[in-house]
Structures are given as C-alpha cells and as structure tokens.
Amino acid sequence: MDLTVNYNHLNNKEEAYAAVKESVTPELLSKFQVKAELDYQEDKIVAKGKGFKLIMSFEDNACTVKVELSFLLKPLKKKVLEGIEKQLIRVV
C-alpha cells in the first residue's frame, strides 16, 4: 500500500466506493493524458494503462491506494500519489 486516505465526507466504504466510481472516469484520466481501462470490482477499483496500474481498495474507514509504475515512470511516483491523494481527499 502506497497511500491511505481516511473518509472525511462519507460514512462507510459503500458510499466512498460509489463517490469514487462516479468521479474517477476515463474522461478524468484523459485530462492527465493517460489512457486507462477501469475495472470496477467489489470494494476495489483497478485502472490499468501503458506502464501503470492503480488499485484503490475500500476498507471500513479508509481508501488504500497502490500504484505500480513501469521503470520509466517510477521517478514520477511521488507526484502521481500526490495527485491521487488530492482527488480522493476532495471526494471521500
């Protein structure tokens, strides 16, 4: 796990999952010039694209995030995590 964001605006994992599912769309990802396929699983959202994989798991009190980046993208990991954290804090 690379990042944990506690729920501040929502009460449980079901509400958080629904809010994130609504806000994290392929259109949102395209703003960052990233093409990704989103897979909405039970209590988990997985985004896969060229050179990266993002896994957001919804726990009882927080959303945990894991980011896997290709060798060329690894130097950007901190910046990517900061952007994800900012978006999640706004939503959950």
Per-domain boundaries in the chain:
3-91
Buried b vs exposed e over 5-42: b needs ≥16 C-beta within 10 Å? bebeebeebeebbebbeeebeeeebeeeebebebeeee
| Segments in the chain below pLDDT 70 | 30-33
Looking at 1.10.287, 3.30.2320, 3.30.420, 3.30.310, the CATH number of the domain 3-91 comes to: 3.30.310
pLDDT at 83: 84
> What is the per-residue pLDDT across 38-58, written as a single tens digit (0 to 9) for each?
999 999 999 998 889 999 999
Buried b vs exposed e over 53-71: b needs ≥16 C-beta within 10 Å? ebbbbbeeebbebebeeee
pLDDT at 73: 85
Model pTM score: 0.87
Token pair, residue 54, equals 């993002």
pLDDT at 56: 94
Token pair, residue 82, equals 């900061």
Q: DSSP assignment, residue 31?
A: H
pLDDT at 84: 86
pLDDT at 79: 87
